[in-house]
Amino acid sequence: AQTVTQSQPEMSVQEAETVTLSCTYDTSENNYYLFWYKQPPSRQMILVIRQEAYKQQNATENRFSVNFQKAAKSFSLKISDSQLGDTAMYFCAFMKGRAGNNRKLIWGLGTSLAVNP
């Protein structure tokens, strides 16, 4: 069975600085997807970034980038130039990559990030 571990329940960072959120996972699959989702106080789940396991290049979305280490089964999220609006819960998630309709996400427990002015 797949598991996702986020070892940092809470983190804080000063505005404009950089913060890295860690995520490790366990799977025997070779084809899968990894995600970082942001859940602000509004509770709307927002996709931050997605990584396909077969791609060696780390995904990047503006100020958000990942460090994907497939062999180590590590998928950390780096937020550069942190902004107050980045304050939220961040969830790491895993999805099997096989074709078919069952697209379950396996979730980490989340990291609560506070960006301080």
Partner 1 sequence: GAVVSQHPSRVICKSGTSVKIECRSLDFQATTMFWYRQFPKQSLMLMATSNEGSKATYEQGVEKDKFLINHASLTLSTLTVTSAHPEDSSFYICSAHRQGPGELFFGEGSRLTVL
What distance lies between CA 19 and its chain's CA centroid? 13
Rg (CA), the chain: 14
Q: Which residues bind partner 1 (CB under 8 A)?
A: 33, 35, 42-47, 50, 52, 89, 91, 95, 97, 101-105, 107-110, 112
Q: 65 vs 97, which CB is nearer to partner 1?
A: 97
Cα–Cα distance measured from residue 102 to residue 96, given in angstroms and rounded to the nearest whole number = 9
Minimum CB distance to partner 1, residue 16 (Å) = 27
Q: 15 vs 25, which CB is nearer to partner 1?
A: 25
Minimum CB distance to partner 1, residue 80 (Å) = 23
Spatial contact of 77 and 88, defined as CB atoms under 8 Å apart = no
Minimum CB distance to partner 1, residue 79 (Å) = 20
Q: 18 vs 55, which CB is nearer to partner 1?
A: 55
Q: 72 vs 99, which CB is nearer to partner 1?
A: 99
Where in 1-117 does DSSP place strands (E)? 3-5, 10-14, 19-21, 24-26, 32-39, 46-52, 60-61, 64-69, 74-79, 88-96, 106-107, 111-116
Minimum CB distance to partner 1, residue 85 (Å) = 18
